[in-house]
Chains A and B, each alone.
Chain A
Amino acid sequence: MRVIYSDVLVIGGGLAGLRVAIGARRRGFDPLVLSLVPPKRSHSVAAQGGMQASLGNVIKGEGDNEDVHFEDTVRGSDWGADQSVVRMFVNTAPKAVRELAAWGVPWSRVRRGDREVIINGQKVTLTEKDEAHGLIAQRDFGGTKKWRTCYASDGTGHAMLFAMGDRAIAEGIPVLERTEALSLIHDGKRCFGAVVRDLITGELAACVARATVVATGGAGRLYRVTTNAVINEGIGHALALDTGVAALGNMEAVQFHPTAIVPAGILVTEGCRGDGGLLRDAAGHRFMPDYEPEKKELASRDVVSRRMEEHIKKGHGVQSRFGEHLWLDITLLGRAHIERNLREVKDICRYFLGLDPADKWIPVRPAQHYTMGGVRTDHTGQNPALAGLFAAGESACWDMHGFNRLGGNSVAETVVAGMIVGEFVADWCEGAELEVSTRLVQEFVDRERASLDGLCHGGSEDASVLRIAMQEIMTSKVGIFRDGAELQAAVDGLAELYRRSRNIGVRSNAPGANPELVTAYRTQKMLRLALTVACGALARTESRGAHFRADHPQRNDQAWLKRTLATWPDPLADLPTLNYEPLDIMTMELPPGWRGYGARNQIEHPDTERRQQQVSEIRERLGSAGRFAVQEALMPYEHLLPVSIRGRNERLGEKLP
């Protein structure tokens, strides 16, 4: 048995995983990164439009600060988020963007003087301040009060991931490329690393570490139509679920992005609408103001996606041989703007649609985009049930997005979580000796080997067939509009596929990686995860954020202001076990209310009014003492942050004390 030792085993080489590894290295520990692909090919690279951080350098960002970013994020989450974590996040985001600037990200910069932009379909002249010239620029995004999204043209994720990847190389951090974790090694209380498989040779090994970090991104490939990369199969989520001990939080919270191109499902950035692009129907009519007079195209993603599907259902969709779609019109932005700030969009349109978006409208329809749910952790990134198991980024639920993530908050979360969790992982390593029984490690390796052998000498089921059937069920029955009957049918259908998956057989016995074997073992994991999403959605009889139940259209704070926790304690069970963790309104800085867009019909919790009175009283009493004093009185959070990244953020209108 080959055993590879490190202090910190990071599963996943995207932005979150690399930043955790860098943090651990800077504290004197030895990280080891596992990555299915070369790290710079991770899905972080596909983020286009930008990263939210309240720098407020541009004129339309004037007055922006952590408080505004906090409120936008909590409203976006439909009050599902952990507000302390959101506070930690918004205070660290400006530091994260500035750190990346120092590491070489070519952020687009502010130019002093007049410039012409498109706002609400009209040409407007903005005048940028002299003192802002050369600082990092921000653009508009959905669900935000201020222009807050920092960007490098529309290749933001690429620029960030390359700077981060090169920084990791500079720090000498080893990466096991093309290596996959098959299971977490644990004794029910503590995690000791993972059994891994080399995707070139097919060999198994054990990676043993003081801390294990899941940073594997999203699970979009549970769906047939998704913007996610083909490697986003939710395997990190499944690794935690398969321990039987660690819980996944809010897996039913799945985001659908309004603008994926039809039919390929490839994303075109929210920056298209942020920069002034419009949504149009078959008649060429701009329909969003009819539904959302306040935010129009720039309501949150869950709302815009629902409005689009609603509009198609009313018969306004464009008919095409690939089904119905709507139009995204960015022609009004002009060729110069597109070729400077939306060039990836232009490339995607050219190669996958054969059109020039400066001249023609882009065919779009909502597609699965983001997994709000993830491995449940506390604010340090550690799982409460398995000591030494951490998670960061999209695969984690710590939980800053609740039931809907704002555009620009995902790449921001990856690097912020990497900074914060990296410090807490190092703290953990300082106190955690590595005491693990080699017999336990051997048992886990043997179990995985037996399982792979079983698939190679298995039954008659074809994993690809099961996977396609699963993706079809998820897209048709666990999508944007959900209802009880459809969800029950989804659970039944997935459970049947899961039973059949125990009889998967692999036809090819090619030595080496054997891609068919990879599909086989991943499909079994994905089916458990798909069941977790569907069961959570069936149980949640309310509508919140991206989880919309046509049969329960109201947000129900009275019954459902709580987080779903799913575990799979019995490996022979057909379904996951669901538990719930309440959110305490009485500790919230921003008590539940209307989001400022979307439906306005929630069922109130009795605590809401009481807490609102307390909050109003504190604001009145301390208002003159300034925003920091008010915030501190409402919901102290700074003690939760690692000491090294505490502190206020400098802005043009807000000098450091």
Chain B
Amino acid sequence: MNAAATRRLRVHILRYNPAEPEKAARFQTYELDEADGMTLFILLSELREKQDPSLQFDFVCRAGVCGSCGMVVNGRPGLACRTLTAELPAEFTLAPLPTFELIGDLSVNTGKWMREMSERLETWVHAKQEEVDLRRHEEKMDPDLADEVYELDRCIECGCCVAACGTAHMRTDFVGAVGLNKVARFSLDPRDERSEADMYELVGNDDGVFGCMSLLACNDLCPKELPLQSQIAYLRRRMAKQGTG
């Protein structure tokens, strides 16, 4: 470590507990010393242990793979666990992801939203043959195609794309980039036997792919760097063709 003095961080956290509606939403300021390699996971854990046991937030894997800790860091949605304080100014704000139901402080109910989206878009393989003989060889798949499916399968449902989406702020039923990416993923998967017409039923409307205004903050902010811009554009072209054809 170089000889620079330890920074004193000032963190403004948006506080609100729906169980205490009489206390209005407010920013509360905490101060603490920065440590080497400090992430927002370490910072918030320390605040809760040492300064404010009532502070609510969500972490699970703390390794950037589970999607629990999406929050708005200095105005940008992102994963808190892999955000290093060294990349932030000494004074910054934390707020919960908008558009999701607030549980308290920085904790939002992305799980409920994602389950509803999955039920609506039926985000699972629809196979004609329900039962496969598990003793026999698996169906073959082209190795490149398997990699392409994996690429879109990497979504962790963190909700950053939804929180950053202009349409999602206006249309509560918009499926978001996360939903459109799922449709793209299952369309690409040869094991899913749904047709273009089936997919059009799911997203061929303003709550689906035609609701996207191409602002594309989703693409800029996706923590897994999914190719959302190209996938949404491609899906829109296909759905427009399906709708007019």
Residues of A bordering B, CB below 8 Å: 37-38, 40-43, 45-46, 94-95, 97-99, 101-104, 106-111, 133-137, 152-153, 155, 158-159, 162-163, 166-167, 169-170, 175, 177-178, 200-202, 229-231, 263-264, 266-267, 321-322, 340, 344, 347-348, 351-352, 354, 464, 468, 506-508, 510-516, 519, 645, 647-650, 656
User: How far apart sit A40 and B114, CA to CA, in the bound complex (Å)?
Assistant: 10
Any A CB within 8 A of the CB of B103: yes
Please name the residue on chain A nearest to B224 by beta carbon: A347
Q: Are B111 and A37 in contact (CB under 8 A)?
A: yes
Any A CB within 8 A of the CB of B88: no
Given B65, B84, B137, which contacts A158 in the complex, CB threshold below 8 Å? Answer: B65
With a cutoff of 8 Å between Cβ atoms, the chain B residues found around residue A507 in the complex are 53
User: How far apart sit A648 and B135, CA to CA, in the bound complex (Å)?
Assistant: 6
With a cutoff of 8 Å between Cβ atoms, the chain A residues found around residue B64 in the complex are 347-348, 351-352
15 contacts between A and B (CB under 8 A): A45-B66, A101-B139, A104-B191, A106-B146, A108-B146, A109-B143, A155-B65, A155-B153, A169-B119, A169-B124, A229-B62, A230-B59, A231-B60, A510-B54, A513-B103
With a cutoff of 8 Å between Cβ atoms, the chain B residues found around residue A322 in the complex are 36-37
Q: Are B111 and A41 in contact (CB under 8 A)?
A: yes
Q: Are B143 and A110 in contact (CB under 8 A)?
A: yes
Q: Are A158 and B138 in contact (CB under 8 A)?
A: no
Q: Are B17 and A511 in contact (CB under 8 A)?
A: yes
With a cutoff of 8 Å between Cβ atoms, the chain A residues found around residue B36 in the complex are 321-322
With contacts A104-B191, A155-B154, A515-B54 known, what are 17 further pairs, Cβ within 8 A?
A: A37-B58, A38-B110, A40-B157, A108-B150, A135-B138, A137-B143, A158-B156, A167-B124, A169-B115, A169-B118, A229-B66, A266-B63, A348-B64, A510-B19, A513-B56, A516-B53, A656-B135
User: How far apart sit A244 and B142, CA to CA, in the bound complex (Å)?
Assistant: 53
With a cutoff of 8 Å between Cβ atoms, the chain B residues found around residue A134 in the complex are 140-143
Q: Are B104 and A98 in contact (CB under 8 A)?
A: no
Please name the residue on chain B nearest to A263 by beta carbon: B37
User: How far apart sit A650 and B54, CA to CA, in the bound complex (Å)?
Assistant: 56
Q: Are B136 and A650 in contact (CB under 8 A)?
A: yes
With a cutoff of 8 Å between Cβ atoms, the chain B residues found around residue A647 in the complex are 135
Any A CB within 8 A of the CB of B127: yes
Q: Are A169 and B150 in contact (CB under 8 A)?
A: no
Any A CB within 8 A of the CB of B207: no
Q: Are B132 and A175 in contact (CB under 8 A)?
A: no
For residue B68, give the distance in angstroms from its CB to the closest CB of chain A. Answer: 5
Q: Are A98 and B1 in contact (CB under 8 A)?
A: no
With a cutoff of 8 Å between Cβ atoms, the chain A residues found around residue B8 in the complex are none
Q: Are B191 and A162 in contact (CB under 8 A)?
A: no
With a cutoff of 8 Å between Cβ atoms, the chain A residues found around residue B132 in the complex are 98-99, 102
User: How far apart sit A104 and B149, CA to CA, in the bound complex (Å)?
Assistant: 9
Given A104, A177, A266, A645, which contacts B124 in the complex, CB threshold below 8 Å? Answer: A104
Q: Are A510 and B20 in contact (CB under 8 A)?
A: yes
Please name the residue on chain A nearest to B101 by beta carbon: A200
**Which residues of chain B in 62-84 are interfacial with respect to chain A, using CB atoms and an 8 Å cutoff?**
62-68, 82, 84
Any A CB within 8 A of the CB of B240: no
User: How far apart sit A340 and B148, CA to CA, in the bound complex (Å)?
Assistant: 11
**Which residues of chain B in 99-149 are interfacial with respect to chain A, using CB atoms and an 8 Å cutoff?**
103-104, 109-112, 114-115, 118-119, 122-125, 127, 132, 134-143, 146-147, 149
For residue A638, give the distance in angstroms from its CB to the closest CB of chain B. Answer: 13
Q: Are B62 and A510 in contact (CB under 8 A)?
A: no
Please name the residue on chain B nearest to A157 by beta carbon: B65
With a cutoff of 8 Å between Cβ atoms, the chain B residues found around residue A513 in the complex are 56, 103-104
For residue A65, give the distance in angstroms from its CB to the closest CB of chain B. Answer: 13
For residue B17, give the distance in angstroms from its CB to the closest CB of chain A. Answer: 6
Please name the residue on chain A nearest to B143 by beta carbon: A109
Any A CB within 8 A of the CB of B49: yes
Residues of B bordering A, CB below 8 Å: 1, 17-20, 36-37, 39, 48-49, 53-56, 58-68, 82, 84, 103-104, 109-112, 114-115, 118-119, 122-125, 127, 132, 134-143, 146-147, 149-150, 153-154, 156-157, 186, 189, 191-192
Residue of A99, A109, A650 most packed against chain B (CB within 10 A): A109
User: How far apart sit A229 and B20, CA to CA, in the bound complex (Å)?
Assistant: 30
User: How far apart sit A42 and B49, CA to CA, in the bound complex (Å)?
Assistant: 24
User: How far apart sit A94 and B210, CA to CA, in the bound complex (Å)?
Assistant: 43
Q: Are B65 and A344 in contact (CB under 8 A)?
A: yes
For residue B159, give the distance in angstroms from its CB to the closest CB of chain A. Answer: 11
User: How far apart sit A434 and B138, CA to CA, in the bound complex (Å)?
Assistant: 40
For residue B235, give the distance in angstroms from its CB to the closest CB of chain A. Answer: 19
With a cutoff of 8 Å between Cβ atoms, the chain B residues found around residue A321 in the complex are 1, 36
User: How far apart sit A286 and B118, CA to CA, in the bound complex (Å)?
Assistant: 48
User: How far apart sit A354 and B87, CA to CA, in the bound complex (Å)?
Assistant: 11
With a cutoff of 8 Å between Cβ atoms, the chain B residues found around residue A109 in the complex are 140-143, 146
User: How far apart sit A175 and B112, CA to CA, in the bound complex (Å)?
Assistant: 10
For residue B136, give the distance in angstroms from its CB to the closest CB of chain A. Answer: 5
User: How far apart sit A352 and B122, CA to CA, in the bound complex (Å)?
Assistant: 35
Q: Are A464 and B142 in contact (CB under 8 A)?
A: no
Residue of A94, A104, A135, A136 most packed against chain B (CB within 10 A): A104
- Residues A170 and B61 in contact in the complex (CB < 8 Å), given A98-B134, A101-B139, A656-B136: no
User: How far apart sit A574 and B192, CA to CA, in the bound complex (Å)?
Assistant: 56
- Residues A102 and B191 in contact in the complex (CB < 8 Å), given A45-B61, A656-B135: yes
With a cutoff of 8 Å between Cβ atoms, the chain A residues found around residue B112 in the complex are 177
Please name the residue on chain B nearest to A353 by beta carbon: B37
Q: Are A104 and B68 in contact (CB under 8 A)?
A: no
User: How far apart sit A519 and B109, CA to CA, in the bound complex (Å)?
Assistant: 21
Please name the residue on chain A nearest to B126 by beta carbon: A170
Q: Are A152 and B111 in contact (CB under 8 A)?
A: no
Q: Are B150 and A102 in contact (CB under 8 A)?
A: no
Given B68, B104, B125, B139, which contacts A37 in the complex, CB threshold below 8 Å? Answer: B68
Q: Are A102 and B143 in contact (CB under 8 A)?
A: no
User: How far apart sit A94 and B104, CA to CA, in the bound complex (Å)?
Assistant: 44
Q: Are B134 and A512 in contact (CB under 8 A)?
A: no
User: How far apart sit A102 and B156, CA to CA, in the bound complex (Å)?
Assistant: 21
User: How far apart sit A557 and B118, CA to CA, in the bound complex (Å)?
Assistant: 52
Please name the residue on chain B nearest to A103 by beta carbon: B125
User: How far apart sit A279 and B40, CA to CA, in the bound complex (Å)?
Assistant: 30
- Residues A104 and B19 in contact in the complex (CB < 8 Å), given A109-B141, A650-B136: no
Q: Are B138 and A340 in contact (CB under 8 A)?
A: no
For residue A43, give the distance in angstroms from its CB to the closest CB of chain B. Answer: 7
User: How far apart sit A351 and B41, CA to CA, in the bound complex (Å)?
Assistant: 13
With a cutoff of 8 Å between Cβ atoms, the chain A residues found around residue B123 in the complex are 166, 169
Please name the residue on chain B nearest to A165 by beta carbon: B118
With a cutoff of 8 Å between Cβ atoms, the chain B residues found around residue A42 in the complex are 60, 66
Q: Are A340 and B56 in contact (CB under 8 A)?
A: no
Q: Are A267 and B60 in contact (CB under 8 A)?
A: no
With a cutoff of 8 Å between Cβ atoms, the chain A residues found around residue B18 in the complex are 512
User: How far apart sit A352 and B37, CA to CA, in the bound complex (Å)?
Assistant: 8
- Residues A41 and B60 in contact in the complex (CB < 8 Å), given A95-B134, A263-B37: yes
For residue B158, give the distance in angstroms from its CB to the closest CB of chain A. Answer: 9
User: How far apart sit A347 and B191, CA to CA, in the bound complex (Å)?
Assistant: 29
Q: Are A512 and B17 in contact (CB under 8 A)?
A: yes
With a cutoff of 8 Å between Cβ atoms, the chain A residues found around residue B150 in the complex are 106, 108, 152-153, 155, 159
